[in-house]
Amino acid sequence: MKKKVLCFLLSLQLLFLTGCWDQRELAAVSMAIGMAVDVGENGLYKITVEAINPAELNDQTASGNAPSVVFTLEGNTMSEIAHKMNIGFSKSLIFSHMKTVIISKEIAEKGMLQFIDFLERNREIRDDFNFIMVDEGKAADVLKVLYTIQKSSSLKLTRQMSTGSKLWGSDPDIRLTDFVNALTATGREPVMATVHISGNPKKGASMDNLKKSELDAIVEIDSLAMFRDEKFVGTLPIEQTRDYLWTQNKIKMTIVSVPCGNENYMALRIIHSRTKVKGDIQNGKPHIKLSIRAEGYINGNFCGPYPLNESSSYLMYEKKVEDYLKEQIGKMIHKVQKEYGVDIFGFGETVERQNPKKYKKYKENWDEAFQQAQIDIETDIKIRRAGLTSKGALLRKK
């Protein structure tokens, strides 16, 4: 019996004789919160990492310094650069809390997206960061622009993007897996949100930027970038970004400003929306049918003396909105078909799901088939209520 106990204790000892391998003291690591990829001069890539200085983000310990440190390095593989970063940084970086990855337009145009493999494979890097493109200039500059509340640029961008996709539909909320899935699928092409730095980026990188009410530089959500496989082909302006999101059933809330002649507009706040897509192939051409059903309330009305306590007015407005939306979305899809020819909507995937046998023939060259596709849009808008007054002030005056 004693021998058994001795053997057992010896085997336990083995565990203690060696060290603790994976131990990383919190004080010895730095959180990398954002990454920017540019084309490198002395290497394939030029990667910039933004690492947080946590003391600055906590009001009690903040001392007015910059909330993060930004450093750039060149190299051939992202993995190499990521681990070499302490050429400039003091601590080792952990990437598991990264919030944004920004690529420059140059990278997108050249299609140099090989670094995605590193992002997918690495166990530390998760799927919850925003994948963004900057429309001009260096991606690194985006990481440097500071903002008042969140202070760090990446933190601000995450919050901004999630608010945008919820509130108005300005951001397609593209994560890494969304991009990769679109990339590998035959019936869909990837998209990405684009940002723009308005103002002076150099001044935006200083804490003085935060001391004013009108910031020197601010990062704005700009447009939607479209890709054919890994190469960038063009952008859609922000209004059409919203229309794009409508086809993807990703609209949560938005506002539609419907013109009703003579520079008069009506604003409808959409609160629920559901889009169904049906895809089929007939006579050699894809037939796509979109049914959009949305519900909202009138949020601004200057369209004429139609009293809003009569249901006929509601019906009239509903018709106006439906026609308007049909027109706008149709225009946008048509533009993408003719000018860019990439199926960013995933109509091919829809056809594959619903009619897999028919889709097989077109699998190889779906984009071409997409350009010939016939699109039918059906909209069904329901206006439920109109706020606090049934006839606005300006319409009441005698």
CA 129 remoteness from chain centre: 9
Q: Contacts with other proteins: how many residues (CB under 8 A)?
A: 47
| 18 is an interface residue for other proteins by CB under 8 A | yes
Evaluate whether 56 touches 65 at the Cβ level (below 8 Å): yes
| 108 is an interface residue for other proteins by CB under 8 A | no
Measured distance CA(158)–CA(82) in Å, rounded:
21
| 260 is an interface residue for other proteins by CB under 8 A | no
To the nearest whole angstrom, how small is the minimum distance from the Cβ of residue 55 to other proteins? 5
Query: Applying CB under 8 A, which part among 36-44, 55-63, 105-113, 201-209 lies near other proteins?
Result: 55-63
Phi, psi of 88, rounded to the nearest 5 degrees = -110, -40
Residue 303 in tokens = 């369209």
Q: Which amino acid is at 4?
A: K
Measured distance CA(291)–CA(197) in Å, rounded:
36
To the nearest whole angstrom, how small is the minimum distance from the Cβ of residue 188 to other proteins? 11
Given candidates 57, 218, 260, 267, which one binds other proteins under the rule CB under 8 A? 57
Query: Applying CB under 8 A, which part among 54-62, 77-85, 137-145, 192-200 lies near other proteins?
Result: 54-62
Instruction: Choose between 94 and 395: whose C-beta lies nearer to other proteins.
Output: 94
Spell 225-238 as b/e; 16+ CB within 10 A means b. Answer: bbbbebebbbbbeb
| 251 is an interface residue for other proteins by CB under 8 A | no
For residue 339, give the DSSP letter: I
- Nearest Cα neighbor of 82 from 54, 51, 57, 53 is 51
Instruction: Choose between 245 and 381: whose C-beta lies nearer to other proteins.
Output: 245
Instruction: Choose between 59 and 214: whose C-beta lies nearer to other proteins.
Output: 59
Instruction: Choose between 123 and 397: whose C-beta lies nearer to other proteins.
Output: 123
- List of residues 6+ apart from 97 with CB closer than 8 A: 31, 32, 33
Residue 59 in tokens = 């009001």
- 156-185 residues in contact with other proteins (CB under 8 A) are 177, 180-181, 184-185
How wide is the angle at C-alpha 153 spanned by C-alphas 242 and 156, nearest 5°? 50
| 394 is an interface residue for other proteins by CB under 8 A | no
| 17 is an interface residue for other proteins by CB under 8 A | no
To the nearest whole angstrom, how small is the minimum distance from the Cβ of residue 347 to other proteins? 12
Q: Tell me how far CA of residue 194 lies from CA of 142, 241, 322, in angstroms.
A: 11, 10, 29
CB atoms within 10 A of CB 195: 24
To the nearest whole angstrom, how small is the minimum distance from the Cβ of residue 138 to other proteins? 26
| 282 is an interface residue for other proteins by CB under 8 A | no
Query: Applying CB under 8 A, which part among 50-58, 287-295, 377-385, 387-395 lies near other proteins?
Result: 50-58
| 92 is an interface residue for other proteins by CB under 8 A | no
| 117 is an interface residue for other proteins by CB under 8 A | no
To the nearest whole angstrom, how small is the minimum distance from the Cβ of residue 340 to other proteins? 24
| 52 is an interface residue for other proteins by CB under 8 A | yes
To the nearest whole angstrom, how small is the minimum distance from the Cβ of residue 36 to other proteins? 19
To the nearest whole angstrom, how small is the minimum distance from the Cβ of residue 254 to other proteins? 17
Measured distance CA(148)–CA(146) in Å, rounded:
7
- 122-161 residues in contact with other proteins (CB under 8 A) are 123-124, 126-128
Q: Give the H or E element holding residue 181.
A: helix 176-184
- Nearest Cα neighbor of 330 from 297, 376, 370 is 376
21 burial level (CB within 10 Å; 0-12, 13-18, 19+): exposed
CB atoms within 10 A of CB 116: 16
**Which parts of this chain interact with other proteins (CB under 8 A)?**
4, 7-8, 11-12, 14-16, 18, 20-27, 29, 31, 33, 52, 54-55, 57-58, 61, 94, 96-97, 99, 123-124, 126-128, 177, 180-181, 184-185, 349-350, 352-354, 356-357
